[in-house]
Structure 1
Amino acid sequence: MTDIKDFEPDESELHATTGEMVGLAIPMRQGLALHFESTFLYRSAIHVYASMEGPEPAILSKVEFTLAEANLPSGTYTLPSDKIKNVLYAIWWRGDGASKTYYAKSGQFVLINRWSELYLAGNFKFETDAVDNTAYSVTINKFELRGDY
């Protein structure tokens, strides 16, 4: 299981890329939707991190996943899949250092993987445990990642 204390990737910035991740955190018993966008999106050859602000300022959160292989064929993949591993949403409370990790309930992604280009797009859905009597449905409505090898 990934440790959220390793929140900042320590790999080379040479692998940094452009990207966007947009979604909603919705308390399951309330009508309020908390929108978020990633503060950075990062990829190495096979690993993607996106850290996000919110859903509250005292909370850090991230989405992370790993492609099963660097030369995974281009195509559309639906979760669960052995081609994309450890699709998770993790939250960390700044005050007490507590953390929790949730794995994707559903989702899909499109991959274009060429020798000089990587493109990923898709969506994931996670459901959290109750925190202060509120459970969240976290939906990554859209993510898009482009990069060059």
Structure 2
Amino acid sequence: MGALFLIFFICIGAAALIDKGDGHGDATGKDRLNARTAPLGTVVTDPNVLLQMQAASKVQRAAYTGDQVVAKVCGACHDAGVLGAPHDKASWSARKGASGGLDGLVKHAVDGKNNMPPRGGDPDLSDEEIKAAVEVLLKKHGV
């Protein structure tokens, strides 16, 4: 038991020799400690708070044109008809008639339809940008 106490006091003495304790009480030392031990992120479980945080961190950008939205988002599926996406005059005409015209197509593009996610998978697109993209796609196929 005495040997354990001896080892204990040797460790305490060695720690005192290695670290004199200088700088443990100053503000910069506390700031460095807080920076090293800060959490990596936050967990938000309230959907309303999450929406507020997203709106606050959203980067403002110039509105995309319809052609830019088609090139960035829509063209990947609608150019080749992937997973049943309308891609030619016949399929666009049928979809436009079944949806109730341009406004119906825009509503489906905003809400999502079949395999297409809401807003084509880009939640940052505005309703006006989506409407412009739908108009470009209809014009491109002569509908």
Output the TM-score relative to the length of structure 2.
0.28
Q: TM-score, normalised by structure 1?
A: 0.27
The structure where helix makes up a greater share of residues is 2
Richer in strand (by share)? 1
> Highest CA radius of gyration, 1 or 2?
2
